[in-house]
C-alpha cells in the first residue's frame, strides 16, 4: 500500500478503445466490468471464479544463479515502480544461510540489489512505507518454521532502503502474548500518520490479534482473539494480511475464516467481505483497486486450511470502494495444497506481482 504515487499510466499495447475507457477510470488495468448483483458480504456467496483474466505471467529472475525459495511477500516502492520481494533464501527459511532474503527489482523486472542476510529466520510479510523504508515480519511458527536461532525471529523489523535496521518491534527470539511480544506476526502496515499495525496470528496456538503501535514503536492498543465467530466479533483464524485504503480503513485478511474484515484504525468494526475468497495477501493501490491473493482454497480437508468448496485459488482484482470483483488470475495448478500467490502487489502501471510459496517463485503479470 502506498499513497504517494502518481496516477497510473496507460498499459502499452492496449487497444485504443480500451485506452479511452481506462483514462476515464484513472488507471491502466482493463476497464471495469459491470459488477454482478450478488456480491454481498455474506458467507453463502457463490464462488467468484468466473471473471476474465486479461493477464499473462513470467517469473522474475534471481541473481548469481540463485533459485527461488518460498516467498510470501512483495510490495511497491514510493516511486510506484520498483518492487521489494521476499525470498526465503532458496528454501522455506533462512536460518544458516548467507543469502540476502530481501530483494529489489526495477519496473522492468530486473534485479537491482538485496540485503538482510543473517537478520531474518522466516521472513513472511513485507510493507514499504511512504518514506521507502522496508518493514518485514519474521514469525517463528508452532510447526517449527523459523525456529532454531537464538535472538532472531518473532519480531517485526523496519529497514532503511539500504538495509540498515531502524526499529524492531517485539522481542527477538522470544514468543509471547504481551505488548512486547508476538506469537506469529504475519503482516505489517503503516498508516499515513505513522501508526503501525501488526497482524499477530498464523493459525492454531497463535494470538490472532491486531496490534497498534505509534511511529516510535510504543504499544497503543490491540483487538482480536482466536475464533470462528461472526464478522465484527473480533475473532480471527490465521490472520494473514493487512492493508489500508484511501479512506484510512484497515483491511484484515482473516484467512481461515474465508473473509476480509474491515475496521477503522481504532479497531471499530465496519464491514466484512467474502467475495475475495480466502485471503492470504491484500494490496490496495492509489486508485482503490484491490488485489487479493488466495493461495489456500481447496475442497480437500488437509490442503492448508478448512475445505472451501468450489472456490478456486488465484488473484482476484476488484474495487476497494464498492467491493466488486472484476478480474481473476487463476492458479495454473488448481489441485492439491498451497500454490498460487500468497503475497500480492501492483505497481502504478498495473503490473501485478505474485509471491508464491507452494510452487516457489515470484511472478510478474502484465496485460496480454
- Comparing CA positions, the residue from 214, 203, 275, 265 lying closest to residue 240 is 203
User: Over 50: is that where the pLDDT of 199 sits?
Assistant: yes
SS3 19: helix
User: Over 60: is that where the pLDDT of 211 sits?
Assistant: yes
Please give the pLDDT value at position 144. Answer: 65
- Comparing CA positions, the residue from 133, 130, 134 lying closest to residue 120 is 134
Tracing cell 456467496 back to the chain, one arrives at: 45
User: Over 80: is that where the pLDDT of 16 sits?
Assistant: no
Give the chain's domain count. Answer: 1
Chain centroid, CA 44 distance in Å = 25
The reply to whether 10 falls in a domain is no
Q: Which residues, 6 or more positions from 24, have their beta carbon under 8 angstroms from its beta carbon? A: none
User: Over 60: is that where the pLDDT of 31 sits?
Assistant: no
Top pLDDT among 177 and 300 is at 177
Long-range contacts of range 37-46, CB-CB < 8 Å, 24 or more positions apart? 39/275, 39/323, 39/324, 39/325, 41/231, 41/271, 41/272, 41/273, 41/274, 41/275, 41/323, 42/274, 43/258, 43/259, 43/274, 45/274, 45/275
Q: Please give the average per-residue pLDDT across 45-54, as a whole number.
A: 94
User: Over 80: is that where the pLDDT of 307 sits?
Assistant: no
pLDDT-derived band at 151, boundaries 50, 70, 90: confident
The reply to whether 39 falls in a domain is no
Please give the pLDDT value at position 283. Answer: 98
The reply to whether 37 falls in a domain is no
The reply to whether 8 falls in a domain is no
Please give the pLDDT value at position 337. Answer: 65
**Single pTM value for the model:** 0.88
The reply to whether 252 falls in a domain is yes
The reply to whether 36 falls in a domain is no
Burial of 45 (0-12, 13-18, 19+ CB in 10 A): middle
The reply to whether 304 falls in a domain is yes
Average pLDDT, the chain: 87
- The dihedral built from the CA positions of residue 30, 34, 36 and 41, taken in this order, carries a sign that is positive
- Residue 255, phi then psi, degrees to nearest 5: -65, -55
Please give the pLDDT value at position 44. Answer: 55
User: Over 80: is that where the pLDDT of 123 sits?
Assistant: yes
Q: What is the CATH number of the domain that holds 183?
A: 2.120.10.30
Top pLDDT among 108 and 141 is at 108
Question: Residue 175: CA atoms inside 13 Å, Cβ hemisphere, count?
Answer: 19
- Comparing CA positions, the residue from 52, 54, 44, 53 lying closest to residue 275 is 44
Q: Please give the average per-residue pLDDT across 182-210, as a whole number.
A: 96
- Domain region containing 178: 16-31+46-367
Record the cell numbers describing residue 220, joined without a space: 497503543
pLDDT-derived band at 358, boundaries 50, 70, 90: confident
Q: Please give the average per-residue pLDDT across 197-201, as a whole number.
A: 97
SS3 74: strand
User: Over 70: is that where the pLDDT of 34 sits?
Assistant: no
User: Over 50: is that where the pLDDT of 172 sits?
Assistant: yes
Per the CB < 8 A criterion, the answer to whether 10 and 22 are in contact is yes
The reply to whether 247 falls in a domain is yes
Per the CB < 8 A criterion, the answer to whether 328 and 293 are in contact is no
H and E: helices and strands count for the chain: 1, 26
Q: Which residues, 6 or more positions from 247, have their beta carbon under 8 angstroms from its beta carbon? A: none
Amino acid at each position: 500500500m502506498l499513497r504517494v504515487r502518481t496516477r497510473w499510466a496507460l498499459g502499452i499495447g492496449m487497444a485504443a478503445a480500451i485506452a479511452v475507457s481506462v483514462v476515464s477510470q484513472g488507471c491502466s488495468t482493463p476497464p471495469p466490468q459491470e459488477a454482478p448483483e450478488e456480491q454481498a458480504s455474506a458467507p453463502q456467496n457463490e464462488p467468484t471464479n468466473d471473471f476474465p483474466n486479461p493477464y499473462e505471467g513470467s517469473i522474475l529472475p534471481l541473481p548469481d544463479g540463485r533459485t527461488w525459495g518460498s516467498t510470501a511477500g512483495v510490495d511497491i516502492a514510493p516511486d510506484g515502480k520498483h518492487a521489494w520481494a521476499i525470498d526465503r533464501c532458496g528454501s522455506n527459511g533462512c536460518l544458516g544461510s548467507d543469502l540476502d532474503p530481501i530483494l529489489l527489482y526495477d519496473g522492468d523486472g530486473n534485479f537491482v540489489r538485496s540485503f538482510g542476510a543473517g537478520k531474518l529466520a522466516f521472513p513472511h510479510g513485507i510493507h514499504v512505507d511512504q518514506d521507502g523504508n522496508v518493514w518485514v515480519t519474521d514469525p517463528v511458527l508452532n510447526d517449527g518454521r523459523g525456529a532454531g536461532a537464538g535472538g532472531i525471529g518473532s519480531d517485526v523489523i523496519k529497514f532503511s532502503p539500504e538495509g540498515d535496521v531502524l526499529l524492531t518491534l517485539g522481542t527477538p527470539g522470544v514468543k509471547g502474548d504481551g505488548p512486547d511480544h508476538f506469537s506469529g506476526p504475519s503482516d505489517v502496515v503503516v498508516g499515513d500518520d505513522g501508526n503501525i499495525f501488526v497482524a499477530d496470528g498464523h493459525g492454531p496456538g497463535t494470538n490472532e490479534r491486531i496490534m497498534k503501535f505509534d511511529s516510535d514503536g510504543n504499544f497503543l492498543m490491540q483487538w482480536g482473539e482466536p475464533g470462528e465467530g461472526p464478522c465484527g466479533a473480533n475473532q480471527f483464524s490465521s490472520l494473514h494480511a493487512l492493508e489500508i485504503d484511501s479512506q484510512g480503513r484497515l483491511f484484515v485478511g482473516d484467512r481461515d475464516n474465508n473473509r476480509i474484515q474491515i475496521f477503522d484504525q481504532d479497531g471499530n468494526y465496519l464491514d466484512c467481505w467474502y467475495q475475495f475468497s480466502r485471503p492470504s495477501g491484500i494490496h490496495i493501490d492509489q486508485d482503490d483497486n484491490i488485489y487479493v491473493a488466495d493461495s489456500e482454497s481447496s475442497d480437500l480437508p488437509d490442503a492448508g486450511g478448512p475445505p472451501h468448496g468450489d472456490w478456486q485459488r488465484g488473484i482476484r482484482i476488484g474495487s476497494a470502494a464498492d467491493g466488486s470483483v472484476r478480474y481473476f488470475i487463476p492458479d495454473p495448478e488448481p489441485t492439491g495444497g498451497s500454490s498460487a500467490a500468497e503475497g500480492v502487489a501492483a505497481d502504478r502501471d498495473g503490473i501485478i506481482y505474485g509471491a508464491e510459496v507452494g510452487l516457489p517463485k515470484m511472478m510478474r503479470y502484465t496485460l496480454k
